[in-house]
Every structure is written in structure tokens, then in C-alpha cells.
Amino acid sequence: MTEVIRLAPHDPVPDYGNHALVLRRMGEDDPNAVVTEIVFYGPEGGSVPAVGADGHAMRLDQAVHAARAEAERRGLKTLYVVDRTAGRLEREVLRDHGDHSFPADRLEDEDREDGVKGSDIRDRSHDAGFVR
């Protein structure tokens, strides 16, 4: 039986080995859209949109059910599920119809190894790992 492992919205997803993945994310071309994909890793790899027989997008729970059945058919032991739209900022973006602008103090982006202290370019050291 395929084990279902639910990941937190920002957890990394294994991209190696034999497993299945249900990924819910914001659309790339349409920030109002939410896309659910089913991805298979292993000998029979591939990705398919989570669309039902009626042509409509599946809800996340429907996609998990369908992916688990297919993973079991393929002999995959693990199905990862991650909803990239479930984070606090992501829910706010969806609520604001794709508006990604946030006050700078709400975002945190540090890479101490490269000398990057914040999300603003003015906070970075002059040699923060960038090549000219």
C-alpha cells in the first residue's frame, strides 16, 4: 500500500527515487489560477494535470486519491502531497488576486555565506557573491 506523506507548504520535495507527488501551486501565467499536478518519479516518470474525466480540475483530495491509486498500480511505496498555496503569504496573494507586492519588512531573505543580509539589494555587501 502506498504511504501518503503530507509536506508543509515550503518543505523541499524529493526529486529522486521512486515515488509520486501531488503538487498544488499558483499558476505561472495566471496569478489567480491554482494548478494541481500529479508527478511520478521512477521508471514510468511523467507529469499530468489533475483533471477529472469531466475535464474539470480536481480538488486536492480528489487528486490525492487518484494519484494514490495510480502509485499503487505502478508499485510506488510513497506519495508526497504538498500544497504550495497554503502558506500565509501565498494565501494573501491568492486573496489579493495575484498581487505579489508586500512591504519589505514582511519578507526575510538572508544568505550569510554570500554576505546577503536582507531582501533589499542595498542591504547586500559589495562582494555578496556576484560576479561582474
Are 88 and 126 members of one domain? no
| Cell numbers given for 7 | 509536506
Which range marks the domain in which residue 119 is found? 104-132
Q: Which residue has the higher pLDDT, 51 or 129?
A: 51
pLDDT tens track for 77-99: 999 999 988 877 766 766 665 55
Residue 61 has pLDDT above 80, yes or no: yes
The tally of domains found in the chain comes to 2
In this prediction the pTM is: 0.67
pLDDT at 129 (0 to 100): 47
Asked if residue 80 and residue 110 are part of one domain, the reply reads no
Same domain, residue pair 73 and 130: no
Q: Identify the pLDDT of residue 2.
A: 92
Query: Model confidence at 51, in pLDDT bands (50, 70, 90)?
Result: confident
* 10 and 71 together in one domain: yes
Distance from the first to the final alpha carbon of the chain: 53
Tell me the β-bridge partners of 22: 38, 81
Same domain, 38 and 88: yes
